[in-house]
Chains A and B, each alone.
Chain A
Amino acid sequence: MSPDAFVDCEHHVIVEGLSDLAPYMTDGWAERLRTSEFQMPQLGPHPGVELESGSEQGGADPYAAAAALDERLTHAVLIPSQPLVSSGWLGHRMAMVFSSAVNDHVVATWLPADPRFRFAISVPVHDGQAAAEEIHRLGEHPAAVAVCFSPMAVNLGQRHYHPIYAAACEHDLAVIVHPGGSEGKVVGPARLGGVGPRTPEEIFCLLPQIAMTGLSSLVFDGTLQRFPGLRVVFAGFGFGWAPSVVWRMDAEYRGLRVEVPWLTQTPFEAVTDQVRFVVDAAVEREPGTWTLASMLGAGALVWGSDTPFAGGGIDSLTGGDEPSRSRMLGANALDAFPRLRAQVSVAV
């Protein structure tokens, strides 16, 4: 284990009811949601896991979640789940009011539960400027280490997201990209390729398509280069797809450099510098995990428990040599989250 850090980069937060959020909305919006057909987003099934909201797994109870944390952890990055769903909502203002209230709920009720908790600022991405304002509102909170969103049907490298990236960089926050659960179901969220899947199983299997497109866009649109301080963390997409995509991007870049002359790094170099991938403990337990990981370079992977959606902790990820495991749990996470690195450095 790294002596400085052992980071869970993906620990989800669930909000049980609107009453938890009402204190963080205007009276008007709270009333509007109470009296409309608004329903708290119900989180869909995850592969192989039974979700019980508020269970001892810690979905909605911050103190239960704190008690269940692996005692070796030095930090756990909280990612509220329900705001991710809002990429499928038509009401962009409602999505922001909801996400903003969740952010305040996390700050007020989760952070006091354990000093190891850090949080990602949830932002819907319908309106990049409004999202940036929310990042600025909370960006200097000492426990804020990231921004989190689920992508809409605009490629991640495009200008639509630039205000979000600029705001994240201004506060040294990483950007976590995570599925929202509505992909392939409704218009608005990022689309899946081909004709589109029809069942939840197909959607789960094919979610990496969105990350592939997003990663390619971040590289070839020059977005990583435009924001050299940007750190992007793909969470919930796995990483097994990434080596082949990065390899292919490098191969194509050689012949198509004139099409993207703004790239002064190869795609592999750009990804190595600025992108990290969360190992999904639920699905990446196979021995091949470490072979695939080696193709991305030693710094590419970080670990996320996916609590409360995944049953296994870090010990379920077997194999790998100790330096690789240690780096994934510690140094790589600190590279991904500059604010966390600053805090660890100060503490040391």
Chain B
Amino acid sequence: MSTVRAPVRHHLGAVEEFPLGRFRVFEISGRPVGVVRTAQGLFAVRNRCPHQGAAICAGRVSGTMVASAPFEYEYSDKTPVVACPWHRWEFELASGRSYGRVTNKRLVTYPVEIEDDHVYVTLRGGEAA
């Protein structure tokens, strides 16, 4: 049993079990955690949109439209985002920040790493999986 606030690393499975661009959602110590693999790496977020609480991991994972001249759309996948399925607000997977300053609220993110082709996510508190 870990201490309440100590970081705990949880093993979630082999990398190959994580499809590209689609979240897998886990219940870890009572928290819903989504993990997604993208071309830019693995990301873990809380499956709860900070706007109105939607299960955001059901949303689309992609790059996004970046600032451009009017009517000159420029798509970039340098900053992967997840778009909430309820209101399409986009959050950066790496930082949890709202893309385009739509809100000051942040999506909760968790450290995630790969070790020997296996995926681990670290949460504060709870039992190790």
Contacts and interface: CB of A to CB of B under 8 A. Distances in A.
Interface of A: 221-223, 225-226, 253-258, 261-264, 266
Interface stretch (B17-25, B27-35, B98-106): B98-106
A261 B103 contact: no
B67 A261 contact: yes
Contacts, number: 44
A225 B99 contact: no
A255 B90 CA distance: 8
Contacts of B88: 255-256, 258
A262 B89 contact: no
Interface of B: 64-74, 87-90, 99-103
Nearest to A222: B70
B70 A226 contact: yes
Contacts of B67: 261-262, 264
B116 to A, nearest CB: 38
A29 to B, nearest CB: 38
B90 to A, nearest CB: 7
Given A261-B73, A261-B74, A254 B68 contact: no
A127 to B, nearest CB: 22
B101 A258 contact: no
A103 B90 CA distance: 50
Given A253-B102, A254-B102, A254-B103, A261 B66 contact: yes
Contacts of B90: 257-258
Contacts of B99: 257
A226 B70 CA distance: 8
> Which 9 A-B residue pairs are closest in the complex by CB-CB distance?
A222-B70, A261-B65, A255-B88, A254-B102, A257-B100, A258-B65, A262-B70, A255-B87, A262-B68
